[in-house]
Amino acid sequence: MTDNRKRVEVCFTPALFDLYKEDFDIIVVIDVLRATSAICAAFDNGVEALIPVSSIETAKEYQANGYLVGAEREGKIVEGFDFGNSPYSYMIPEIKGKTVVLSTTNGTKSINIAKSAETVVIGALSNMDVLNEWLIKQNKNVLCLCSGWKDRFNLEDTICAGGIVETLMETGNFMSDDDSSVAAKYLYLSAKENIFGYLKASAHRRRLKKLNLNKDIKFCLTANTTAVIPLLKGDRLVNILK
Ligand code: 3SL
């Protein structure tokens, strides 16, 4: 009997992406703390489009051409830019209807390396339910690409990826082969009742806490606060639920 189920897998870090990139139709890029949560917040607040760029040099070129540009490195706003990577920077009326440019340490880099895929969408805890619903309807092979931290594994992206694996597999229409997906699913199942508490000792939560970014952490680790699905069209993300 042929198995018609689609695959859903988890790539723990961008450094492992080459091992997966050929096999998937949809890539979900995840950077819970904080890039993809900030991107979801921006679209939830009415941003028209968001251009993710990998380098500060490219971000500067856009700024010189009159764009609003956010740039973050090491968790801090890069000097000279309009804002950084806080979801709250994108909850202001001034950015409604605008095209914004963003460059971050890991998240925008992951979006750009995923570009070879047929479809790239943005995943975060904040848009998890609407995203899962959409992914189930597409019925295609899905890879969750965790942005990690400088090519290293992180817990928050893996937990979010595990939530996607768990929900898609529950439908019976998806399967997974890799232990990374099994591990992500079990991490999600043990964390889901209290993700904020579960991640207390995680490296990036500690890094952001040192920068007094607790409010951001709370927002990013709260599930289903936005109803958006940012999807990459050419060089920019747009919200397909608009
Ligand atoms: O690495 C990234 O893309 C950022 O999300 C990191 S930070 O949360 O802004 O420190």
Task: Convert the pLDDT of each residue in 4-22 to its tens digit.
Answer: 999 999 999 999 999 998 8
Q: What is the mean predicted confidence (pLDDT) over 65-69?
A: 96
Alpha helices (H) in the chain, listed in sequence order: 35-44, 56-64, 107-113, 128-138, 155-170, 179-191, 195-198, 203-210, 214-220
Task: Please write the tens of the pLDDT for every residue from 82-141.
Answer: 899 999 999 999 999 999 999 999 999 999 999 989 999 999 999 999 999 999 999 999
Give per-residue pLDDT as tens, 145-173: 999 999 999 999 999 999 999 999 999 99
Q: Which of 40, 104, 151 for a ligand 1 pocket mutation test, highest count of atoms within 8 Å of Cβ?
A: 104
The percent of residues above 90 in pLDDT, for the chain, comes to: 90
Tell whether ligand 1 has an atom less than 6 A from the beta carbon of residue 33. yes
CA of 232 to the centre of ligand 1 (A): 19
On the CB side of 95, how many CA atoms lie within 13 Å of its CA?
A: 27
Among protein residues, the one with the nearest Cα to ligand 1's atom 10 is: 75
Average pLDDT, the chain: 96
26 to each of 7, 133, 135, 196, 224, how far by Cα in Å? 10, 14, 9, 28, 21
The three-point CA angle 210-147-61 to 5° equals 85
Q: Ligand 1: which of 29, 31, 202, 212 to mutate, most ligand atoms within 8 Å of CB? A: 31
Neighbours of 194 (CB within 10 A): 11
User: CA angle, corner 80, sides to 91 and 109, nearest 5?
Assistant: 70
Of 138, 136, 148, 147, nearest to 118 by C-alpha is 138
- pLDDT 10s digits, 30-48: 999 999 999 999 999 999 9
DSSP track, 180-233: HHHHHHHHHHHHTT-HHHHTTT-HHHHHHHHTT-HHHHHHHTSSS-----EEEE
What number is the average pLDDT over the span 57-77?
Answer: 95
Q: Quick one: pLDDT band at residue 205, thresholds 50, 70, 90?
A: confident
Residue 87: per-residue pLDDT: 97
Dist. CA 163–CA 218, nearest whole Å:
18
pLDDT at 116: 87
Residue 118's DSSP bridge partners are: none
Q: Which two tokens stand for residue 190?
A: 């043990």
Q: How far is the CA of 142 from the centre of ligand 1 (A)?
A: 24
Residue 185 is predicted with a pLDDT of 98
Centre of ligand 1 to C-alpha 34, Å, is 5
Whether 1 has a pLDDT exceeding 90, the answer reads no
Residue 242 clears pLDDT 90, i.e. is over it: no
